[in-house]
Amino acid sequence: MIIQKADSSDHEVLTAITKKSKAYWGYSDEQIEIWSEFLTVTKEYIETNSVYKLVLENHIIGYYSFVYQDKTTVKLDNLFILPTYIGKGFGKKLMNDFLRILKSQPINKIVLNAEPNAALFYTKFGFVKIGQIETSIKDRFLPIMQLQLNENRI
């Protein structure tokens, strides 16, 4: 197993992982299609943002990506695992790698918009809900979560 920087040729595989992972939570094919634009990882997105893939036995099984909002704040934009591997510690490996990368940077806050079914996963890393965003599905909200990092860390 290795986590490495994705390259633009991975865009179709990462998009498939995103859609399959989202569908894991019981969303219909029709809903996934409605969200298709938001669930698509483009070559340009990979080229302009920090995207890391998880490779197991020569197959990409998950990834995460993040964007800088300012000099001290990062947004975890995506963290997806193929459904077969959900609940087996691979998401934790991706999150720990993400946090490791940020340790050497002057980042003191991480924000994200969580899939409602995955919010508990993020709380295990210390994220707290600070708000919510209404979605296109009636009575469905994305938790806005934040992790405040120690500002004195090296």
Q: Is the pLDDT of residue 136 over 80?
A: no
Residue 146 is predicted with a pLDDT of 97
pLDDT digits (tens, 9 = 90+) for 29-76: 999 999 999 999 999 999 999 999 999 999 999 999 999 999 999 999
Residue 139 is predicted with a pLDDT of 79
Q: Is the pLDDT of residue 114 over 80?
A: yes
Q: Is the pLDDT of residue 152 over 80?
A: no
When pLDDT is cut at 50, 70 and 90, the band that residue 140 belongs to is confident
Output the 3-class SS for the chain: CEEEECCHHHHHHHHHHHHHHHHCCCCCHHHHHHCHHHHCCCHHHHHHCEEEEEEECCEEEEEEEEEECCCCEEEEEEEEECHHHCCCCHHHHHHHHHHHHHHCCCCCEEEEECCHHHHHHHHCCCCEEEEEEECCCCCCEEEEEEEECCCCCC
- Percentage of the chain lying above the pLDDT 70 cut: 97
When pLDDT is cut at 50, 70 and 90, the band that residue 138 belongs to is confident
Domains of the chain are 2-148 (3.40.630.30)
Rounded Cα distance between 14 and 30, Å, is 20
Residue 134 is predicted with a pLDDT of 87
Q: Is the pLDDT of residue 154 over 60?
A: no
Q: Is the pLDDT of residue 151 over 70?
A: no
pLDDT digits (tens, 9 = 90+) for 77-111: 999 999 999 999 999 999 999 999 998 889 999 99
